[in-house]
Amino acid sequence: MAAFSEEKRARLRALAEGEFLQSSDPAIDAFLQRMEAENAPVFSDVYAGDMTFFNAPRKNDLDQVDLALVGIPFEASAPVRAGTRLGPRSFREWSKVRGPVHDVWKTIPFELLSVADIGDISFESPHDVASCVQTIQETFSGFRRKGITPFSVGGVHTMSHPILTGLASGEGVGLVQIDAHADTARGSFQGDRLNDCRVFLNAMLDEAIDPERTIQIGMRGSLSPYWDFSKEAGARIIPMHECYDLGVSGLLDEIRSVIGDGPFYFSLDTDGIDATYLPGTQLPEPFGFTTREVVQIIRGMRGMDIVGADIVELCPPYDPNGISANIAAALGFEMVCLLAEAHVARNGQTRKTHWR
């Protein structure tokens, strides 16, 4: 090995000069300087300070918000394990170390839109499913009226139905769903028709999603016989064993052919991911997706017209080391990048996030 020449030494020393908050990429560098000037908590001590989604500013005035990050601590109607109402809190904690710059795309949602943590939905009767569903629907109708793009963290999957009916403006949107269960069971379960076994059947009946622009991916396990409605209604349902053969690129071809150029919603049930990666979910199912496959599917949807997204069924009592919340937060940042880019493409306007 050749000795270090004086010239090589000097060059390395010169390159090592500078500040921690600095980037050779001019756009990232401008963002970092702005963060510092606004005293944004983005790079503050990760164990201290307020817990907001991805360190976004906390805002209550919806006129100041383009992309709302909202917690839905709702678990009434969850049929198996308890604790999904703790999902938003755990997600916030782990999201503190996710973002703010997409490591591959260099996308910075905070440079594109006014992104804010608007807090958790507060429920007057948190154990009454019908009233919670109504509260969620009203909240999301408000977002629709203000043109806000929502990213939601749950909470039991039941929440996606009132999110979709709240966002609906006449014509049903498309749906991409990654989940071990299609959630389109007929009839009532445990005495209720508002539950996480028939989320998307309810959303189709309410014309909030179009069955023919719905694609459901990753179904498996003992509940598989209960999803006949999906196929019969015209949805594309791809059980997990078909995903093994299709692979990520085959799945993305299917997604693009079902969804096309039109608007769609994305729902990620944490149980779509194999429980060896993500144990902290309400009803884990073996033989699911790897985390790497899910991130590739999400990234593959870049450029499509995504109008909202959620991550559901995170169940922190079964996630004692935070591994599941960490994965959920990392995938959530990917989804926020997609949502921000699509919102700008739809509206043609940008507005930076400000922390002060």
Residues at the interface with Mn ion (CB under 5 A): 157, 179, 183, 269
Burial class of residue 225 (count of CB atoms within 10 Å of its CB; 0-12, 13-18, 19+): exposed
In the complex, the smallest distance separating the C-beta of residue 313 from Mn ion, rounded to whole angstroms, is: 6
In the chain, count of helices (H) and strands (E)? 11, 8
Smallest gap, in angstroms, from Cβ of residue 211 to Mn ion?
A: 17
- As beta bridge partners, residue 238 has 217
Q: Which residues is 239 bridged to in the sheet?
A: 219
What is the closest distance, in whole angstroms, from the C-beta atom of residue 154 to Mn ion in the complex? 10
Kindly tell me which of 112 and 275 has the beta carbon lying closer to Mn ion.
275
Decide: helix, strand or coil at residue 168.
Answer: coil
Residues in the chain: 356
- What is the spatial distance between Cα 178 and Cα 162, in angstroms, rounded to a whole number? 18
Instruction: Judge contact between 295 and 278, C-beta under 8 A.
Output: no
Residue 34 CB, shortest distance to Mn ion, in Å, is 39
Report the residue number, 56 or 209, with the smaller CB distance to Mn ion.
209
Angle at 149 between CA 310 and CA 112, to 5 degrees: 110
Judged by CB, which is closer to Mn ion: 111, or 179?
179
Cα distance between residue 273 and residue 31, in whole Å? 33
Least distance (Å) between residue 226 CB and Mn ion = 12
Of 157 and 213, nearer to Mn ion (C-beta) is 157
Closest to Mn ion by CB, 179 or 210: 179
- Comparing CB distances to Mn ion, the nearer of 67 and 175 is 175
Residues 6+ apart with CB under 8 A from 112: 340, 341, 343, 344, 350, 352
